[in-house]
C-alpha cells in the first residue's frame, strides 16, 4: 500500500471515529445534578477558551 | 528491568517533573489550582487520559504508522487519538459512573487541549523510543508527578489566599513566584539517581 493512501486511510479513519464519538457523547444525557456544572476559571487568563466563552454566554 | 522502571518513575515524578521541569500543562497548573479539590479532580482526569492516550499512541505508532512508513503523521494522529479518547471517556463516565462524572466531568474538555497529554505520547514514542512497559511506567510517573505538584501548589495557594500579600503580587504573580521556588526545590533532587 502506498504511504499516501495509507496516511489518508489512517487519518480519515480517526476523524470518522472522533465524529462518531463526539455525536454519541452529545446524545448521551448528563446524569442528574450535573446539568449546570461550572468550571473554576477565575485564575486562568485564556480569554478565547471555549469553556470560558460558554460560561460567559450563560 | 525493575531498576530501569524505578529510575524512570523517580526521574519523571521528581526530577524531570512535567510541570516544574518540562513546563507542559502550565495552563491547568495555574488555572485549576486555586482549590485543592479542583486540583485533585483535574489531576485524576489527567492521569487516566494520559495513561490511555500513551498506550494507544504507542500501539498505533509502532504497529501501524512505522510499518506503513507514515510515521511523519504522528502528531496529527496523536491529537485525533486524544480527542477521541476524551469524548469516549466522557461518554462512559456520563453513562456508567455518574458520581465520578460529577467531580471530573468538567475538566475533561480541558484535557483535550492539555499539552502534557500530547507531550507524553510524543516523547514516549518518537523522542525516548520506550518499549511498551516503559511507556506505561513513564505515563504513570508523569501523571503522578502532575498530581503531586498540583496538590502541593493548590494547598499553598489556598493558604496564602488569606495572607496579607502586597497588591502587585496578589493572584497569579505570587503563584508564579511559588512555582519557581517549587521548581528549584525539585531540581535539588537531581543527581539522586
Residues A2-46 have pLDDT tens digits of 888 988 999 999 999 999 999 999 998 888 877 776 666 655 566
Q: What is the ipTM of this complex?
A: 0.75
Report helix, strand or coil for B74.
Answer: helix
Burial class of residue B95, CB neighbours in 10 A (0-12, 13-18, 19+): middle
C-alpha cell at B162: 488569606
pLDDT value at position A32? 81
Q: What's the half-sphere exposure (Cβ side, CA atoms, 13 Å) at B169?
A: 11
Report helix, strand or coil for B110.
Answer: helix
Which of A3, A37, A42 lies at the smallest CB-CB distance from B105? A37
pLDDT value at position B26? 83
pLDDT value at position B136? 93
Contact A34 B33 (CB under 8 A): no
pLDDT value at position B163? 84
- CA B193, distance to chain mean position in Å, is 22
Whether the pLDDT of residue A58 is over 70: the answer is no
Cβ-Cβ contacts under 8 Å, A41 against chain B: 31
Domain ranges of chain B: 12-191
Q: Measured between CB atoms, does A5 come within 8 Å of chain B?
A: no
Contact A25 B90 (CB under 8 A): yes
Give the DSSP per-residue string, B162-180: TS---GGGTTHHHHHHHHH
Burial class of residue B135, CB neighbours in 10 A (0-12, 13-18, 19+): buried
Distance CA B28, CA B44 (A): 13
The whole-angstrom distance between A31's CA and the closest CA on chain B is 6
Q: Given CA atoms A25, A26, A27, A33 in this order, what sign does their dihedral have?
A: positive
Distance CA B165, CA B170 (A): 6
pLDDT in 10s for each residue of chain B, 193 residues: 788 889 888 888 988 888 888 888 887 788 777 788 878 888 888 888 899 999 999 999 999 999 988 889 999 999 999 999 888 888 888 888 887 787 766 777 777 777 888 999 998 888 888 899 999 999 999 999 999 999 999 999 888 888 888 888 887 888 889 999 999 988 888 877 6
Backbone angles phi, psi at B128, to 5 degrees: -90, -15
Q: In chain B, positions 47-76, which contact chain A (CB-CB < 8 Å)? A: 64-65, 68-70, 73, 76
Runs of H (alpha helix) within A1-58: 3-27, 50-57
Do B70 and A6 touch, CB atoms closer than 8 A? yes
C-alpha cell at A51: 469553556
Give the global pTM.
0.82
Whether the pLDDT of residue A48 is over 70: the answer is no
Helix axes B74-96, B115-122, angle to 10 degrees: 120
The whole-angstrom distance between A1's CA and the closest CA on chain B is 8
Helix axes A3-27, B74-96, angle to 10 degrees: 20
Amino acid at each position: 500500500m502506498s504511504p499516501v493512501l495509507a496516511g489518508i486511510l489512517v487519518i480519515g479513519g480517526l476523524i470518522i471515529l472522533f465524529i462518531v464519538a463526539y455525536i454519541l457523547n452529545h446524545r448521551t444525557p448528563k446524569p442528574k445534578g450535573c446539568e449546570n456544572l461550572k468550571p473554576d476559571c477565575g485564575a486562568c487568563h485564556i480569554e478565547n477558551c471555549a469553556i470560558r466563552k460558554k460560561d460567559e454566554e450563560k | 528491568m525493575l531498576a530501569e522502571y524505578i529510575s524512570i518513575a523517580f526521574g519523571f515524578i521528581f526530577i524531570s517533573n512535567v510541570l516544574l521541569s518540562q513546563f507542559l500543562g502550565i495552563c491547568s497548573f495555574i488555572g485549576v489550582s486555586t482549590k485543592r479539590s479542583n486540583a485533585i479532580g483535574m489531576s485524576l482526569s489527567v492521569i487516566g487520559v494520559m495513561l490511555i492516550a500513551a498506550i494507544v499512541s504507542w500501539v498505533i505508532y509502532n504497529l501501524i504508522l512505522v510499518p506503513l512508513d507514515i510515521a511523519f503523521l504522528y502528531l496529527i494522529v496523536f491529537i485525533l487519538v486524544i480527542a477521541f479518547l476524551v469524548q469516549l471517556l466522557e461518554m462512559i463516565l456520563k453513562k456508567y459512573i455518574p458520581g465520578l462524572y460529577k467531580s471530573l466531568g468538567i475538566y475533561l474538555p480541558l484535557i483535550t487541549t492539555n499539552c502534557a497529554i500530547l507531550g507524553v505520547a510524543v516523547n514516549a514514542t518518537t523522542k525516548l523510543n520506550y518499549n511498551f512497559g516503559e511507556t506505561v511506567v513513564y505515563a504513570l510517573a508523569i501523571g503522578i508527578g502532575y498530581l503531586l505538584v498540583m496538590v502541593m501548589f493548590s494547598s499553598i495557594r489556598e493558604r496564602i489566599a488569606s495572607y496579607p500579600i502586597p497588591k502587585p503580587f496578589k493572584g497569579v504573580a505570587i503563584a508564579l513566584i511559588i512555582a519557581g521556588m517549587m521548581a528549584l526545590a525539585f531540581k535539588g533532587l537531581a543527581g539522586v539517581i
